[in-house]
């Protein structure tokens, strides 16, 4: 039987819907309903039913089953397996606490120096210095307290301080001067009262407390212990010395705070004497060394001005008192009448006689002196005013002792008598009183010991004080 073309056309139209039900509706080669080349019903190229390109069923671009973009199995955005946003393996969201810096002048009032009302506090016995930005004259029993300090997460206290003689400590206590002891700093000399360094100590405290700093030096209740700039709580780190951002460049490995001095072998021998006349030093006319007015304030100029011993405005600064660096080393300044000596030169002195024998001192030449040729006339408060006397004008006629030899000569070497004369002459003049204590302590009340000497490079602890 012949089928007409019209019949064939009708048959094709009738069969067409059935054929369509077995042909994919998309343009890919799989049998799902999307246009990708995989076997699922979404529009990506993987085999799951979500809209990303990985093999899991969530909507992110990683291979785990959570909804974040990392490759772990939790729902946060870090790469660990817990549910918090930090990088450790626990389930909390902890982070290291920010350091808490406390400007110590806040103990004198919230508007002092750099305090800016950060902490309220109180103090006993201390004095503000450097434009109210630091605290000095810190002696045994003095305190500084700061309220509402949160110790949580902090186990380290960094202390920025300056110190001349050794001895004493700074206790960190909680809530009162007699409260729980959280830590102790035993500061070593930094090289001068304006030579700052930073040291870390461990702290054992948590929660909110009043932080109380207590100065302690029971064996010498009148000696200054240290000056303070700031303290800072943090969550730990390597103990550091001289690592502060303002540390002077001189404090490097090539010029440490405490130099290692070999004993002098077969050097020349010289005598020593002592003096303190308050006059403008000879080198004040020939260098840019630091000089002071009648109240011991640094002068920005004065090189060409007359000495206070001759009615002028320039005097010797009290900072030129000797500095104890360690049990066996001190720094100081001297007059030296020697053809090879120039202003600013430094000499190593190895003491060869008297109680101080075996110790060393580095002195810088700032005066010519009248102790005789090849003799070091050491600057020691109470050592005698010598040929000139500016101290009566500067200090107001205190007891000065013998013109040559000072308090030691007047007291025939008696320690108690010398100490009492120092107290009567200097009172609250801490730097001068410390010079007296140095003479009785480190120098062991020695009377003009002999030395072996040689010229050396000046350490930073000396040049930072003198400026030359």
- Residues assigned a catalytic role: 277, 377
Report DSSP state, residue 79. Answer: S
CB of 460 within 8 A of CB of 251? yes
- Distance in angstroms (rounded) separating the CA atoms of residues 188 and 167: 8
Helix or strand (DSSP H, E) at 103: strand 100-103
- Distance in angstroms (rounded) separating the CA atoms of residues 55 and 48: 6
| Nearby residues of 164 by Cβ (< 8 Å), 6 or more positions away | 189, 190, 192, 193, 224, 321, 323, 324, 434
CA 133 to the chain's CA centroid: 14
Burial of 303 (0-12, 13-18, 19+ CB in 10 A): middle
Q: Which two tokens stand for residue 21?
A: 């039900």
- Distance in angstroms (rounded) separating the CA atoms of residues 400 and 131: 32
CB of 228 within 8 A of CB of 138? yes
What angle do helix axes 430-440 and 415-426 make, rounded to 10 degrees?
A: 170
Pairing of strands 360-367, 208-216: unpaired
CB atoms within 10 A of CB 295: 7
Closest CA to 91 of 81, 100, 99: 81
CB atoms within 10 A of CB 61: 14
Nearest 5°: the CA angle 251, 256, 261 is 155
CB atoms within 10 A of CB 92: 11
- Distance in angstroms (rounded) separating the CA atoms of residues 113 and 90: 43
Report DSSP state, residue 306. Answer: P
SS3 assignment, position 68: coil
- Distance in angstroms (rounded) separating the CA atoms of residues 254 and 275: 33
């Amino acid at each position: 039987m012949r089928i007409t073309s019209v019949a064939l056309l009708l048959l094709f139209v009738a069969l067409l819907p059935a054929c369509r039900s077995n042909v994919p509706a998309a343009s890919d080669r799989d049998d799902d309903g999307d246009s990708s080349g995989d076997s699922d019903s979404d529009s990506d190229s993987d085999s799951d039913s979500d809209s990303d390109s990985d093999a899991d069923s969530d909507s992110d671009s990683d291979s785990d089953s959570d909804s974040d973009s990392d490759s772990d199995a939790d729902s946060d955005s870090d790469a660990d397996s817990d549910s918090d946003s930090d990088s450790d393996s626990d389930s909390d969201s902890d982070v290291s606490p920010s350091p808490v810096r406390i400007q110590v002048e806040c103990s004198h009032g919230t508007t002092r120096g750099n305090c800016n009302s950060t902490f309220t506090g109180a103090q006993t016995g201390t004095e503000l210095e450097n434009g109210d930005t630091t605290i000095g004259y810190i002696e045994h029993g003095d305190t500084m307290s700061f309220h509402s300090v949160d110790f949580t997460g902090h186990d380290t206290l960094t202390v920025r301080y300056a110190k001349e003689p050794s001895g004493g400590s700074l206790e960190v206590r909680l809530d009162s001067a007699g409260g729980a002891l959280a830590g102790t700093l035993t500061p070593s000399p930094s090289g001068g009262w304006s030579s700052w360094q930073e040291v870390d100590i461990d702290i054992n405290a948590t929660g909110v407390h009043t932080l109380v700093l207590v100065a302690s030096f029971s064996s010498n209740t009148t000696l200054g212990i240290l000056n303070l700039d700031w303290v800072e709580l943090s969550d730990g780190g390597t103990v550091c010395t001289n690592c502060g951002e303002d540390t002077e460049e001189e404090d490097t490995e090539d010029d440490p705070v405490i130099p290692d001095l070999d004993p002098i072998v077969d050097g020349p021998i010289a005598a020593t004497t002592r003096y303190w006349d308050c006059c403008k030093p000879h080198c004040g006319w020939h260098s840019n060394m630091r000089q002071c007015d009648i109240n011991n304030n640094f002068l920005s100029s004065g090189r060409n001005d007359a000495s206070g011993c001759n009615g002028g405005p320039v005097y010797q600064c009290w900072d030129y008192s000797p500095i104890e660096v360690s049990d066996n080393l001190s720094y100081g300044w001297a007059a030296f009448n020697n053809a090879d000596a120039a202003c600013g030169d430094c000499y190593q002195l190895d003491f060869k006689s008297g109680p101080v024998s075996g110790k060393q001192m580095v002195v810088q030449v700032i005066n010519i002196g009248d102790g005789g040729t090849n003799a070091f006339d050491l600057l020691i408060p109470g050592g005698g005013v010598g040929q000139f006397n500016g101290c009566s004008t500067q200090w107001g006629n205190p007891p000065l002792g013998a013109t040559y030899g000072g308090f030691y000569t007047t007291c025939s070497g008696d320690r108690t008598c010398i100490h009492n004369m120092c107290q009567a002459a200097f009172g609250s003049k801490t730097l001068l009183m410390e010079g007296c204590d140095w003479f009785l302590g480190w120098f062991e009340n020695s009377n003009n010991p002999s030395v072996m000497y040689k010229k050396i490079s000046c350490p930073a602890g000396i040049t930072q004080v003198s400026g030359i």
